[in-house]
Amino acid sequence: MDLELIEKSLPFLLQGALITIEITMLSVGIGFFIGLFTGIARISRVRLLRITATIYADGIRGTPLLIQIFLIYFALPVVLGMHINPFVAAVTACGINSGAYVSEIFRAGIQSIDIGQMEAGRSLGLTWWQTMYYILLPQAFRNILPPLGNEFITMLKDSSLVSVIGFEELTRRGQLVIAQTYASFEIWMTVAVLYLIMTLVIARFISCLLYTSPSPRDA
């Protein structure tokens, strides 16, 4: 193993790792808000909202992220007649994809709360939306946090797919180094270790949040 090559390539790869984290944070951030509203819509009493949210969630989860990236970066510009920046395409595709999975997380988290909580809120004169916001969502957050952490880790790894449109995140930068050095083993091992470090740090952070956040019973 050429350790000197790894040492020379590491700063370049670390910059790619930072870009990967940036894409992941923006994508999951977008996905969080999309998933929140979609998840609530899937259990709302308005049939049109339920149907629309279900079609979105099932459609996105039923198609590969790679195809979604191709649609946004290659197909959408043909329809719109304009070029789309690779970074915008990457974040948009990953954000829309993440939103579908986050919506299922929110739906399951909310439905894990006793239905009597909703009835209690309504009996106090709160509307359906007020009961959801003030009573159900705060209680569901602790149940939602672990799968949200898993979604962040999954998106961190799936973001490597944006390398196919030439965006220079960690995986793409690894490919560029290999194209110049032909050191496939050293570079891919380094890339794998960087991904592993990032996922372990995120997992540890989520564990700390769960440990420090109060239980609904203690609130």
Domains and CATH numbers, the chain: 3-212 (1.10.3720.10)
Rg for the chain, CA atoms, rounded: 21
pLDDT tens per residue, range 50-65 = 999 999 999 999 999 9
Secondary structure in 3-state letters for 131-199:
HHHHHHHHHHHHHHHHHHHHHHHHHHHHHHHHHHHCCCCHHHHHHHHHHHHCCHHHHHHHHHHHHHHHH
166 vs 25, higher pLDDT: 25
Task: Give the residue from 139, 140, 128 showing the smallest Cα distance to 45.
Answer: 128
Mean pLDDT of 128-143: 80
Q: What is the model's pLDDT at position 213?
A: 59
Mean pLDDT for the chain? 88
The pTM of the full predicted model, rounded to 2 decimals, is 0.86
217 pLDDT higher than 80: no
Cβ-in-10-Å burial (0-12, 13-18, 19+) of 128 comes to: middle
